[in-house]
Amino acid sequence: MFEGKIGFIGIGIMGRPMAKNLLKAGCKLVVYDKFAQFDDIVSLGAEKAASNKEAASKCDLIITMLPNSPHVKEAILGQDGVAEGVKSGAIVVDMSSIAPAAAQEIGAALKAKGVSFLDAPVSGGEPKAIEGTLAIMVGGDQQIFDKVKPVLEKMGSSVVRVGDIGAGNVTKLSNQIIVALNIAAVSEAFTLATKAGVDPQQVFDAIKGGLAGSTVMNAKVPMMLDGNFKPGFRIELHIKDLQNALDTAHELGVPIPLTASIMETLQGLKIDGHAASDHSAIVRHYEKLAKTEVRKK
C-alpha cells in the first residue's frame, strides 16, 4: 500500500464514497473541494486542506475527481492549483472523465515540473463507487501505474492500464457510447413491450439471461420499472461525456452517427427538465413519444 499521504480533490457524488473507501483501507488523506462540503470525510479521519495547492503540497500522491476538463485544468494548473504546490517526484492521478487531449495537456504541464500523471477515469456510477467495485481504466507510464495500482484497487474491482496518457479517457468515452446506446435500446424495447400490453417485468425476467442481457439492463431496467430516476449518473454528465466523444471523434475523422443521435435524445431530456435525473431516464423520451409508461404492473 502507498505509504505517504494522499491528496483527494473533489468530494462529489463519486468522490465522496471513493474517499471513504480509501479511509477504510487505512490511507492517510488530505481532502479539498472548492464547492462541496466535506466535513463528513474529515470526521472519518481525513485532514482538511484550504486549497488545491495546500493539499498537493502535503502529499506524494494526489487524486482528482471532478466534473469535466475545465474543472480539472483549473484545479491542477490554475491559480492555487495542484501544480503550484506539488513536489517534484509526486504523482497526480485524475479519475475524472475528461477529453483525452486535456489529459495529455495536463500530463505535459506536470512532466515539466518533474511530476508524473495518470488519467484514470472510472465506470460504475455511485453504486459501484460506494461498493468500491468501480472499473478503472488507466493511461500513463507502466511503472507509475504499478506504484499506484494498490491504491486504485481500494476503489475498484477492475484496474487496467490501457496505454499512454489519454488512453484512459479514450477508453471511458468508448464505454460511455456503449452505455448510452444500450440504455436507449433497452428503453425503446421496453416501451414497445409495454404499449403492446405485455408486463415489462415479465419481459425483463424472460430476456435478461439471454443474448440481450447486459450489466446495463440489470442495473437500469429495475429503476425504470420503479420510476426511480434518482441519479447514480446524471444525464447532464452523460451529455458532457458524449460531447467529449463527439469532439474527439471529429478531430480523428471518425463518424459516430449513433452517438450523435442519442446525444440529441439527451439534449431533449435536458430541455424537459431531466438534466439531473439518472441516465435511466432516457426511457422517458420513448415514453413521451409512445404516450405510455414502462412501470411494474
**Residues catalogued as catalytic:** 172
| Separation of alpha carbons 183 and 197, rounded Å | 21
Buried-exposed string 244-274: b where 16+ CB fall within 10 A, e elsewhere: bbbebbeeeeeebeebeebbebbeebbeeeb
State whether the Cα torsion 59-86-155-161 is positive or negative. Answer: negative
Q: Is 60 helix (H, G, I), strand (E, B) or coil?
A: coil
| Separation of alpha carbons 29 and 11, rounded Å | 12
How far, CA to CA in Å, does 147 sit from each of 15, 21, 93, 151, 214?
21, 18, 11, 8, 33
Closest CA to 280 of 212, 213, 223: 223
Contacts of 250 (CB under 8 A, 6+ apart): none
